[in-house]
Amino acid sequence: MCGIVGQFSIDEKTNLLSKTEELSKMLESMIHRGPDGEGKYESKNLIMGMRRLSILDLDNGFQPIFNEDKSIVVVFNGEIYNYIEIKDELLKKGHKFYTSSDTEVLVHLYEEYGEDFSSYLNGMFSYTLFDIKNNVLIVSRDRVGEKPLYYSIMNDIFYFSSEIKSLLLCSDIKCEANKDSINDMLTFNYVPYPNTAFKNIYRLEPGKSIIIKNNKISKKTYWEIPKKSIYNNNFENFETLDSLISNSVEIRMRSDVEVGAFLSGGIDSTIVTKYMREKTEDSFKTFSIGFTEEIYNELDYAKKVSETYNTNHIYKIVNQDDFLEQLVNSIWFCENPHGDVSFAPTFILSELASKYLKVVLTGDGGDEIFGGYDKYLDFIYNQELDINENFKNYFNKISVFNILEKESILSNEFKSDLIEIDSFKKIEEKYIGIHNSDFINKIMYFDSDYLLEGNNLVKPDRMGMANSIEGRYPLLDYRIIEMMFNIDSSKKIYNGEKKYLLKNILSKDFDDDFIKRKKQMFTVPIGEWFKDKEFIDKINPIICSEKFKNRGVFNYDRVLKMIQSHQNSQENYTRQLRAILVVELWYRIYIDNKFTKKPSFNDLI
């Protein structure tokens, strides 16, 4: 686990050795991703480096890593969970290894299989591999986007990094807001790939590789979520699913340092904790946070799981005072604006865990893959409707602001600068084009493709790495994803019971009161806080200020009316108000202050 950065001269005309000082600044900006060391590779047409968080082969796993004759070099961020099996196969083929690091398998896989070797990896990763003899650069990202990879192409130089801030330190790249991405965020609650909130900075899509050779750039897909037209409607093979999850947890526990777990008390984290207990007799730590407001508090359930599986449970209570400071922290480390305010408690949870260890397993991905969201139930009985109509209904349901609301909430000046105000027009064709008869699987496909990468995996990675914590996600093993998208959604949501397959596994250990209770989202009670005078007084200098008004993004008068209506309980504008707050904070951090240092909340007033 680490962070990677670099610059590559596409046309080979720029001597990048003149930019090594810039490379050092890029690396320094993300020391939190890798506090245990630094490595660099520097040549005329490629400079790159990494920051290391030591987890495997603590003594010898430093990067960059080369092949035997030093003709291939790689920098890598993440973990290859099946590296032991890959290494055994490569040894049989005559390859020589000099470390016990998972990273070293990459250079030998490239020697053996060429540009498409990413398909052999079971892991979370982004890497940059350089074939020195043939002047070929390969940049690749894992299947579902667990690890980040941002890039920009300016003046025939390809810039890449695990974080946007390091790219913004490059002299060729300006720090400017991408208004169309801000508009998209106000629809989806996050900025969907491949864009970012910054002009000319993009992120590599999951399951894809960028290949630069012969002065040309191409993009290849090595994996995507299955799009089946015929499903296995007679799924009864619980043993296969049990075996897959068990193995997924087992290989994600491979580490030379202590491994713990995030435990909310929900179905997904409970499943992960269950299999961890089956894989080790040793005590391991689990971590939770709770809230002073009981309706949002699942600590009692987390404690029950901890007692059942005999873990060393550690927890913390979060209050309103913690939240605003950590909200600013979350925006600083995420770099893109996210309306999901659970980033803040995830930061606090990661900070808590960092006092004890470096690696945690989590239940992330369970809702998208196994059918855990309440919104899916709304469409179970409407699948006979026209597919286009159903997608419009779904998109309207998940929008923070629909089209009519955007027309009133955005300023005329901001709207005039947009290429397209309707964010769904950019993506709906892709999903309408998925030819199958199961609409629930279609929208689960959308969530697994966009929501996971754009929001739900950003959260544990950025909040974890901000505290030098590596999160691993057993429920997102690609073998499990392929299995789950090859069965009808009625087997995932059975007789109205969400996550039926996972709950069936847990039924041996817990009663129905635990398993079938109403799903509780991991979030903070910000809707109630928006009605609290003390909280409003704190945020008034942000969203009720002249600076906010003059920003020209939002219709100021409309925002004031929304706040008043929410406070009077006439309307529930929780999602809308938190998105507005986050966007304004993002502008103040990155556009006004040019991200010069991590600010406090008071610094932004």
Check: CB of residue 122 under 8 Å from CB of residue 82.
yes
Q: What letter does residue 258 receive in the DSSP assignment?
A: -
| In the block, residue with structure tokens 């900070």 | 351
Residues 31 and 230 sit within 8 Å (Cβ to Cβ): no
CB 271 within 8 A of CB 245: yes
| Annotated binding-site positions for ATP | 289
Q: Measured between alpha carbons, how far is 319 from 300 in angstroms, rounded to an integer?
A: 17
Which residues does 292 contact at the CB level (< 8 Å), separation at least 6?
A: 317, 318, 319, 320
Q: Which amino acid is at 81?
A: Y
Q: Residues near 553 by Cβ (< 8 Å), separated by ≥ 6?
A: 182, 410, 411, 414, 583, 584, 587
Residue 357 makes CB contacts below 8 A (sequence gap 6+) with: 257, 258, 259, 260, 285, 469
The CA angle 330-189-600, to the nearest 5 degrees, is: 25
Instruction: Compute CA distances 344 → 210, 282, 321, whole Å.
Output: 33, 31, 12
Residues 6+ apart with CB under 8 A from 399: 187, 188, 405, 424
326 and 350 Cβ atoms separated by less than 8 Å: no
Residue ranges of the annotated binding site for L-glutamine are 102
The upper half-sphere exposure of residue 344, i.e. CA atoms within 13 Å in the direction of its Cβ, equals 25
The pair of three-digit structure tokens given for residue 108, joined into one six-digit string: 């030998």
Give yes or no: 170 in active site. no
Provide the b/e sequence for 195-229 (b: ≥16 CB within 10 Å): bbbbbbbbbbbbbbbbbbeeeeeeeeebbebeebe
State how far the Cα of 34 lies from the Cα of 13, in Å rounded to an integer. Answer: 32
* 208-213/216-221 β-pairing: antiparallel
Question: What is the three-class DSSP state of 41?
Answer: strand
Half-sphere exposure (Cβ direction) of 519: Cα atoms closer than 13 Å: 19
- Which position has the token pair 């599986």? 309
Active site residues: 2
